[in-house]
Chains A and B, each alone.
Chain A
């Protein structure tokens, strides 16, 4: 027997109570871990952004297109290492409800500015050299049961061809993956097509592009490059706005609303709840044990050791419940992964979530344990025995 055994036995002295406390702590941490992971998945685009990657869009709004001629002018700006243009195709596959996110681009340039997008060298070459090739992201291909070599039509809900048709025929000649990052697997849920193949057939909006992605020499020249580009097109009918990929992603996310605040409020509410439940119960539990604590003191247990034993109970409770909750969240995430992975990618609880979770557990045990631990430490033996 040691102090840990004593703490454990004290904690589970009233089994129902201990289990109820564990459940409420577990639920708070379940919510915390699940929302933290969800938020991480939503921000994946921002987090995977490269610091030296910039995006140039129309200053009216990123949905408004720019003249194709801008592409070459942007490429020649000093500090730009490489650039790719992309246009929104508004694709769907088979059914209008089945969105098939497709961009029209210059394949080689696009794969250069997104080095994390990988395919085999053969497929890469095929994509670059075949005009009607469609490079499909792994998750998008899986979702639509498309495999290499398939010939498929993709329809646009925006554009039509000169012949009135809205369907472009493709051969799937490359499957793309995102290089897995540490702890996160971003889903490749889009497809790429040749800009020429798209542009030549267009009935309207020809020789326009959606946006330009730029790789700069170094983060330090980002500001200068942005300024040069935007000034170059100032006062033309198509003014531009250039920002870092991360800033662009963040601005887009914030259009959905203040998700961060919403999630914080929910997690906050969950924690205030357990803070009160656990806190008041710990105070009660120690009050019930004043006499036992007096016996410990009489036997010669020093005050700091009693403090540690009571504090230890809180720590044990919060860490045990907390990790159970995080484990339950991991379980739930594993369950929804097959359904959600094409949208959000393969999710798992990150080390960050664990780390902050452990800090929360520590904080929770300190707040709920300090008061009872102090009052236990300061129990006056004679007074305690006086209460028969």
Chain B
């Protein structure tokens, strides 16, 4: 069953008065439960594509459907709601709030739900447990290593139980060991919790963790089977 259906998708913008086309007439389907690594050179539109899948950027033309619902023409307010309910984001630089501790950072998406404080606590505990960082719940981001911070970020992404995780270079700022453990965790979330994961990465080693790799070049996909 398809989670995402992209039809005839184009993205253009102007830079210094010059029209730049990132991709044109892109068609694509993403199945539920998939784990895709999107690779490609800088400027190939990887992040732009991810942003559009996450509903924080819009195509210039074409449509994006998620679970049969078009998201490319939703209002800003509807999109906010949609994002809160359906997607979790994981960024290269973690993007944790420096003023909040790990548990509070994980709690942020729950502020958009109607859960009671007690239920919220349970959700936070579960999420922190899944990423294996329960013992650091009261630590502030500056007291955590990069790998630990990224785990907190993952916990934040899954705490409201979204179907999709969108990861933009999740290991780009990590050493090999931390990177591997983060990627193993994503694999686990995909296989055990059935999260659909779409990951943009530069790193071929990271891409190997995905079920399949897509190479984006000059606005076109070149599919490559993953090692698995």
A–B interface present (Cβ within 8 A) = yes
A295 at the interface (CB under 8 A from B): yes
- Interchain CA distance A339-B180 in the complex, whole Å: 75
Contact with A along B72-86 (1 / 0, CB 8 A): 000011001111110
Known contacts A9-B99, A13-B99, A382-B51, A300 near B57 by CB under 8 Å: no
B193 at the interface (CB under 8 A from A): no
Known contacts A9-B99, A382-B56, A299 near B109 by CB under 8 Å: yes
Which of B57, B84, B99 is within 8 Å of A382, CB to CB? B57
CB contacts (< 8 Å) of A303 on chain B: these are 76-77, 80
Which of B80, B93, B97 is within 8 Å of A300, CB to CB? B80
Which of B84, B93, B111 is within 8 Å of A3, CB to CB? B111
A2 touches B111 (CB 8 A): yes
- Interchain CA distance A297-B80 in the complex, whole Å: 7
Within 8 A of B (CB), among A283-307: 291-292, 295-303
A10 at the interface (CB under 8 A from B): yes
CB distance from A34 to the nearest CB of B (A): 35
Which of A9, A297, A300 is within 8 Å of B109, CB to CB? A300
CB contacts (< 8 Å) of A382 on chain B: these are 51, 56-57
CB contacts (< 8 Å) of B76 on chain A: these are 302-303
CB distance from B22 to the nearest CB of A (A): 12
Most chain B beta-carbon neighbours within 10 Å: one of A5, A295, A300: A300
CB distance from B49 to the nearest CB of A (A): 12
CB contacts (< 8 Å) of A292 on chain B: these are 95, 97
The chain A residue sitting closest to B79, CB to CB, is A300
B219 at the interface (CB under 8 A from A): no
- Interchain CA distance A15-B190 in the complex, whole Å: 42
B100 at the interface (CB under 8 A from A): yes
Which of A10, A298, A302 is within 8 Å of B89, CB to CB? A298
CB distance from A105 to the nearest CB of B (A): 69
CB contacts (< 8 Å) of A2 on chain B: these are 111
A10 touches B108 (CB 8 A): no
- Interchain CA distance A265-B92 in the complex, whole Å: 54
CB distance from A365 to the nearest CB of B (A): 21
The chain A residue sitting closest to B82, CB to CB, is A300
Contact with A along B84-118 (1 / 0, CB 8 A): 11000101010101111000100111011000000
B54 at the interface (CB under 8 A from A): yes
CB contacts (< 8 Å) of B97 on chain A: these are 292, 295
The chain B residue sitting closest to A299, CB to CB, is B109
- Interchain CA distance A303-B93 in the complex, whole Å: 23
Total count of chain A residues near the partner, CB < 8 A? 23
Within 8 A of B (CB), among A6-31: 6, 9-10, 13
The chain A residue sitting closest to B108, CB to CB, is A299
A69 at the interface (CB under 8 A from B): no
Which of A6, A9, A299 is within 8 Å of B84, CB to CB? A299
CB distance from B173 to the nearest CB of A (A): 11
Within 8 A of B (CB), among A330-388: 381-382, 385, 388
- Interchain CA distance A248-B107 in the complex, whole Å: 66
A261 at the interface (CB under 8 A from B): no
Contact with A along B42-59 (1 / 0, CB 8 A): 000000000100101100
CB distance from B47 to the nearest CB of A (A): 8
CB distance from B87 to the nearest CB of A (A): 8
CB contacts (< 8 Å) of B77 on chain A: these are 302-303
CB distance from A209 to the nearest CB of B (A): 74
CB contacts (< 8 Å) of A1 on chain B: these are 100, 104, 107, 111
- Interchain CA distance A292-B51 in the complex, whole Å: 17
The chain B residue sitting closest to A296, CB to CB, is B108
A298 touches B111 (CB 8 A): no
Known contacts A291-B95, A381-B56, A299 near B89 by CB under 8 Å: yes
- Interchain CA distance A295-B76 in the complex, whole Å: 15
Which of B83, B93, B98, B104 is within 8 Å of A299, CB to CB? B83
- Interchain CA distance A6-B110 in the complex, whole Å: 13
- Interchain CA distance A9-B96 in the complex, whole Å: 14
A301 touches B57 (CB 8 A): no
CB contacts (< 8 Å) of B85 on chain A: these are 300
A300 touches B84 (CB 8 A): yes
Known contacts A1-B107, A1-B111, A381-B56, A295 near B80 by CB under 8 Å: no
- Interchain CA distance A3-B57 in the complex, whole Å: 26
CB contacts (< 8 Å) of B80 on chain A: these are 297, 300-303
- Interchain CA distance A9-B57 in the complex, whole Å: 30
CB contacts (< 8 Å) of B89 on chain A: these are 298-299
Q: Give 13 CB contacts A-B under 8 Å.
A: A1-B107, A2-B111, A10-B99, A299-B89, A299-B109, A299-B112, A300-B81, A300-B83, A300-B84, A300-B85, A302-B81, A303-B76, A382-B56
Q: A296-B108, A300-B85, A382-B57 known; 14 other A-B pairs, CB under 8 Å?
A: A1-B104, A5-B104, A9-B99, A10-B99, A13-B99, A291-B95, A297-B80, A299-B83, A299-B108, A300-B81, A301-B111, A302-B77, A302-B80, A382-B51
Interface residues of B (CB under 8 A from A): 51, 54, 56-57, 76-77, 80-85, 89, 91, 93, 95, 97-100, 104, 107-109, 111-112, 156
